[in-house]
């Protein structure tokens, strides 16, 4: 398997970097080929702006969606973005690794998504009709590939539990897992999350490393998050609402979009 790990932490001696090295070593030991995009080390440009679209005339209004579509179609995306797209096409699997900052990914990684997930590549793919609503949510350019998150969080595991004040971790990560990874087609694995990072010591690092090694060894075979297919009949088209007879009546929000055995 070919794996791309996109890493977002500014400090080479961080806990995150140590965990990244564990993941890479374990994957390579299992015979996988790994490439790392270390965004801070690459001095990745995170903001979308005119410089991303050299073909845009100086007095032309910048419409990011239209500009992305035109640049992807005419092969005029910038070299840094094209290089990342090549890596995504090369890889069978993608890992996004980051510390949880303000309940989200660091800006540099969000900027990687904003710039690399171009129109025609990660969105705006496929036909829209009364039967299909594009190739997305499990279909699309990156379908058939696997993806997962490796996340460190300062808060306790209980803080992110079902009744925790921070909100459940699966809800917080839903926009990334479902909205960023599943959307362009990836099969998404449950995330690997390390909590209470400010209390880390050698013993906890050893335990976390062991758990991470297991996750890397089972990357190819582990069960996926059972998201629903949007074109599989579960949703009305074009409203894209889940059919009223699916999902438990007491469910709402993100949980509705997980397939249940009963459906
Ligand atoms: P580091 O700071 O590098 O290390 C953490 C601890 O691990 C240190 O004690 C260090 O000595 C130890 N350590 C490092 N490497 C090793 C090693 N190899 N072996 C053993 N011990 C080691 N947390 C939340 O839960 N929710 C939030 O919304 C949130 N928002 C944040 C926003 C910002 C802007 C920032 C800066 C932090 C936020 N945090 C939040 C906390 C953040 O998630 C953690 O600080 C981060 O995940 C820790 O990971 P790190 O790689 O930066 O760890």
**Structural domain spans, the chain:** 2-225
What's the gap in Å between 31 CA and the centre of ligand 1? 30
Q: Higher pLDDT residue, 111 or 252?
A: 111
Assign domain 2-225 to its CATH architecture. 3-Layer(aba) Sandwich (3.40)
Tell me the C-alpha distance between 47 and 196, whole Å.
31
Query: Residues 140-163: pLDDT tens digits?
Result: 999 999 999 999 999 999 999 999
Under the banding of pLDDT at 50, 70 and 90, the label for residue 129 is confident
pLDDT in tens, 46-77: 999 999 999 999 999 999 999 999 999 999 99
CA distance 260 to 257: 9
pLDDT score at 221? 96
189, 225 Cβ separation under 8 angstroms: yes
Q: How far, in Å, CA of 249 to CA of 88, rounded?
A: 39
Distance CA 176, CA 171 (A): 10
User: Ligand 1 pocket, 97 CB below 6 A?
Assistant: no
pLDDT tens string 234-245: 999 999 999 999
Beta bridge partners, 144, equal none
- 3-state SS, residue 16: helix
CA 230 / ligand 1 centre spacing (Å): 36
Residue 222: band (very low, low, confident or very high) from pLDDT cuts 50, 70, 90 = very high
Is 202 close to ligand 1, i.e. is its CB under 6 Å away?
A: yes
Residue 151 Cα to ligand 1 middle (Å): 10
pLDDT in tens, 109-127: 999 999 999 999 999 999 9
pLDDT of residue 261: 81
Mean pLDDT (the chain) is 96
What pLDDT sits at residue 165? 98
Contact status, residue 46 vs residue 111, Cβ threshold 8 Å: yes
Which spans in 41-186 are helix H?
64-73, 79-90, 107-116, 169-176
Task: Confirm if 220 and 1 have CB atoms less than 8 A apart.
Answer: yes
The answer to whether residues 140 and 125 touch, using CB atoms and an 8 Å cutoff, is yes
Cis bond leading into 238, ω under 30°? yes
């Amino acid at each position: 398997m070919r794996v791309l790990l996109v890493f977002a932490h500014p400090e080479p001696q961080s806990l995150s970097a140590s965990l990244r090295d564990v993941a890479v070593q374990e994957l390579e030991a299992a015979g996988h080929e790994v490439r790392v995009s270390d965004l801070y080390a690459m001095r990745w440009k995170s903001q979308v702006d005119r410089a991303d679209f050299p073909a845009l005339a100086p007095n032309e209004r910048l419409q990011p969606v239209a500009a992305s579509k035109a640049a992807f179609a005419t092969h005029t995306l910038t070299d840094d973005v094209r290089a990342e797209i090549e890596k995504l096409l090369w890889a069978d699997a993608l890992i996004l690794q980051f510390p949880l900052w303000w309940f989200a990914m660091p800006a540099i990684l969000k900027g990687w998504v904003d710039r690399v997930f171009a129109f025609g590549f990660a969105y705006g793919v496929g036909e829209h009709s009364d039967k299909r609503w594009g190739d997305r949510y499990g279909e699309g350019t990156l379908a058939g590939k696997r993806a997962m998150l490796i996340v460190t969080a300062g808060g306790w595991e209980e803080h992110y539990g079902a009744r925790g004040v921070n909100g459940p971790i699966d809800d917080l990560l839903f926009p990334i897992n479902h909205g960023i990874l599943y959307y362009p087609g990836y099969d998404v694995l449950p995330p690997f999350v390390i909590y209470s990072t400010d209390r880390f010591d050698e013993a906890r690092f050893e335990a976390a490393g062991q758990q991470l090694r297991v996750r890397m060894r089972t990357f190819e075979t582990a069960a996926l998050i059972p998201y629903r297919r949007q074109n599989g009949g579960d949703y009305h088209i074009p409203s894209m609402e889940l059919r009223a007879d699916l999902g438990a009546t007491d469910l709402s929000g993100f949980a509705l979009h997980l397939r249940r055995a009963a459906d």
